[in-house]
Amino acid sequence: MAGVIGILGGTGQLGSGLALRLTQAGYKVIIGSRSKDNAVQAVEKLKSAHPGLNFDLSGSDNKSAAAEADMVILTVHYEHLTGILEQLKAETSGKIVISTINPLTFAGGKAGLRPVAADSVGELVQEKLPEAKVTAAFHTVSAALLSNLDKPLDEDILVAGDDKAARSEVANLASAIPGLKGVEAGPLRIAKYLEEMIVLIISLNRVHKAQTGFRVTGINEA
């Protein structure tokens, strides 16, 4: 099990949902933010919303959270990514970095994808953090579902990455959350397709008035 997980932009919806579920799965989590005060407030908010639970959870600025963590999860929006990555080269060197980022836009009221300065956000992160082991994961899970412990999760988390050991570790991280199963999907170039799935998810959610997710079938379990 990875020791400490730093979630950068972890004060937001996905970051807080992952922090809740990962701490309940036994991980030590640091919520990162542009402001340490915001991060500490987010920790307090999670703790006070769940008074009966034990949390190994703290808050820090993004750079310190990345430095202290063994594994880093990026939960910021695409348009805020470059600014964050510039500060993190040294802090993420040799570590697994997970991009959850969907380059989503609602231009004209329709969900679509904004242009990315590489073939995918995952590959852009790898370009900017060449010493990190970048994977792409958690693109299709709903932050609202993660944040609601009364709702059982029931979906797969597809994981792309070029470093096979890192990819497997991230799949195991996802599988540690009850109701989720990490499924390795291939090299980092596959991130593009994981990032596109959000448009389909949003359409499915609208049609079925539900929070939908994906399950992969047909995999032979060893």
Distances (CA, A) of 131 to 95, 163, 218, 220: 8, 12, 35, 34
User: Do 68 and 30 meet the contact criterion of CB atoms below 8 Å apart?
Assistant: yes
What is the footprint of ligand NAP within residues 113-142 (CB under 6 A)?
A: 138-139, 141-142
Of the candidate residues 3, 37, 44, 80, the single one contacting ligand NAP (CB under 6 A): 80
* 143 sits near ligand NAP (criterion: CB under 6 A): yes
* 187 sits near ligand NAP (criterion: CB under 6 A): no
* 161 sits near ligand NAP (criterion: CB under 6 A): no
Q: Which stretch binds ligand NAP (CB under 6 A): 8-16, 44-52, 151-159, 169-177?
A: 8-16
Query: Which amino acid does the sequence have at 32?
Result: G
Of the candidate residues 12, 179, 186, 187, the single one contacting ligand NAP (CB under 6 A): 12
Within 10 angstroms of residue 109's Cβ, the number of other Cβ atoms is: 5
Of the candidate residues 57, 84, 177, 188, the single one contacting ligand NAP (CB under 6 A): 84
User: Do 22 and 177 meet the contact criterion of CB atoms below 8 Å apart?
Assistant: yes
* 110 sits near ligand NAP (criterion: CB under 6 A): no
Containing H/E element for 29?
strand 28-33
Angstrom distance (rounded) from CA 88 to CA 47 = 28
- In the bound complex, what is the minimum distance in angstroms from residue 18's beta carbon to ligand NAP? 9
Residue 197: name the closest of 136, 126, 109, 151 by CA. Answer: 136
* 63 sits near ligand NAP (criterion: CB under 6 A): no
- Alpha helix ranges (H) inside the chain: 13-24, 36-49, 62-68, 81-86, 89-92, 121-128, 143-147, 164-175, 191-208
3-class DSSP state of 57? strand
Tell me the site size for ligand NAP, rule CB under 6 A: 25
* 43 sits near ligand NAP (criterion: CB under 6 A): no
- In the bound complex, what is the minimum distance in angstroms from residue 50's beta carbon to ligand NAP? 18
Of the candidate residues 5, 6, 15, 126, the single one contacting ligand NAP (CB under 6 A): 15
- In the bound complex, what is the minimum distance in angstroms from residue 173's beta carbon to ligand NAP? 15
Within 10 angstroms of residue 189's Cβ, the number of other Cβ atoms is: 14
Q: Which residues bind ligand NAP (CB under 6 A)?
A: 9, 11-15, 33-34, 38, 75-78, 80, 83-84, 100-102, 104, 138-139, 141-143
